[in-house]
Structure 1
Amino acid sequence: MSRYWSERFSKEGMIWGSEASPSAFWAKDRFREAGVTSVLIPGAGYGRNTKVFSSDFTAYGVELSLPALELAAEWDPLTVFIAGSALEIQLADTIDAVYCYDVLHLFLAEERRRLIEASLAQLRPGGLLYFTVFSDEDSNNGRGTMLERGTYEYKEGKYAHFFSEADLREHFADTEILETGSWTERLHSRHNGIHQYILRYLLARTK
């Protein structure tokens, strides 16, 4: 997967442009209301969403792709970017919140568990998590080869897990779930036009 994304970032640069996801602004408002001062962004990419948080909070972005990190350093110099895996603990000190946009569904079950565990381990008690994932209501669900229950290689070399409401809640059973919901996200790709996905989100707090 790292090779796939590194090749895309190398060829396409800022793949989805500079406009952040609406979810980043929504999460930022919830974090601000809760008195958050520091945010971790796993799978930060080239910083499209990190810039929303770094303007108000101490922001840390974790990204495995070196081409993406090179872009991110220019686009969002206020965020501290860390070259490494989001599946592992990267920070020495705990932070107040985690914002994870469209990363969790990119992994198989064992790696999804590791991503959530690493995120929780880096949160202070009572810290907040905001995750977005592909919904089982998205048109790509069920297409292609099934790799695991709910996980499909819907394009050659590209797979994702599609979450139902119950499945998402089950993944975060060790947290206090504050809110869930869904919406349609439209991404404007410089090379491939407009893509539309149905996403689910979850806002939770550590117990």
Structure 2
Amino acid sequence: MSHYWSQRFAREGMIWGSEPSPSAGWAKRIFLEAGAASVLVPGAGYGRNTKGFAPELSVFGIELSEPALELAREWDPGTTFIAGSALEPQLEHLVDAVYCYDVLHLFLAEDRRRLIGASLAQVRSGGLLYFTSFSDEDPHNGCGVQLEPGTYEYKPDKYAHFFSKADLEEHFAGTEILETGSFTEALQSPEGGTHEYILRSILARKK
């Protein structure tokens, strides 16, 4: 999986443009209203979403792909980027919130648990977590080879888990779930085309 993304970032650069996801703006508002001063972004990519949280929040991004990190440090010098896996704790201190955009669905079941566990380990008690992921209502759900329940290789060398509301809530069963939602997001490709995805979101608080 990391090899796939490194190749894409090296070849295509800022794959989805420079504008952050609308969900980053929603999460930022929620975090600030809760008094957060710092946020962790696991799987930060090239910094498309990290930049949207500054300057009001101190931002830390974890990213495994070196080509993505090179782009991120140039595009968003205000964020502290850490080279490493989001499946393991990387910070030396706790943050107030975690924002994780479309990373959770990229893993099989065991590693999805590891990602959530690592995120919880790096946020303070009472801190907030806002995750987005592919929805089971997305048209790609059920396409291709099924690898695990709800997980499909829907394109060659590219697989994803498609979450139902109940499935997403079950993944965060150890937290206080505050809100779930569903929305459609349109992304611009480097070639100029538009791709739409149906996503789920979850807002939770660490107990």
Q: TM-score scaled by structure 2?
A: 0.99
Aligned equivalents of 1:66, 1:160: Cα separation in 2? 22
Partner of 2:54: 54
CA positional deviation for 1:192: 6.0
Partner of 1:3: 3
CA positional deviation for 1:191: 2.6
Partner of 2:140: 140
Q: Over aligned residues, Cα RMSD in angstroms?
A: 0.6
Query: Is the partner of 1:89 in helix, strand or coil?
Result: coil
Give the letter for the 2:26 counterpart: W
Give the 5 Å matches for 1:162-181.
162-181=162-181
Tell me, yes or no, if the aligned pair for 1:15 and 1:191 is still in contact at 8 Å: no
Aligned equivalents of 1:77, 1:130: Cα separation in 2? 23
Aligned equivalents of 2:143, 2:78: Cα separation in 1? 40
Instruction: Give deviations 1:141-165, integer Å, cap 9, x for gaps.
Output: 0000000000000001000000000
Q: TM-score scaled by structure 1?
A: 0.99
CA positional deviation for 1:54: 2.5
Instruction: Give deviations 1:22-62, integer Å, cap 9, x for gaps.
Output: 00000000000000000000000000000011221110000
1:44 aligns with 2:20: no
Partner of 2:205: 205
Q: Percent identity?
A: 72
Aligned equivalents of 1:39, 1:141: Cα separation in 2? 31
Aligned equivalents of 1:206, 1:59: Cα separation in 2? 19
1:122 aligns with 2:122: yes
Query: Is the partner of 2:130 in helix, strand or coil?
Result: strand
Query: Is the partner of 2:115 in helix, strand or coil?
Result: helix
Query: Is the partner of 2:126 in helix, strand or coil?
Result: strand
Gap runs ≥5 in structure 2 = none
Aligned residues: 207
Partner of 1:109: 109
Partner of 1:13: 13
Give the letter for the 1:203 counterpart: L
Give the letter for the 2:57 counterpart: F
Query: Is the partner of 2:30 in helix, strand or coil?
Result: helix
Give the letter for the 2:185 counterpart: E
Aligned equivalents of 1:21, 1:61: Cα separation in 2? 16
Query: Is the partner of 1:35 in helix, strand or coil?
Result: coil
Give the letter for the 1:37 counterpart: A
Aligned equivalents of 2:45, 2:189: Cα separation in 1? 14
Once the two structures are overlaid, the 10-residue window that deviates more, 54-63 or 120-129, is 54-63
Gap runs ≥5 in structure 1 = none
Query: Is the partner of 1:68 in helix, strand or coil?
Result: helix
Runs of 4+ residues deviating >6 angstroms: none
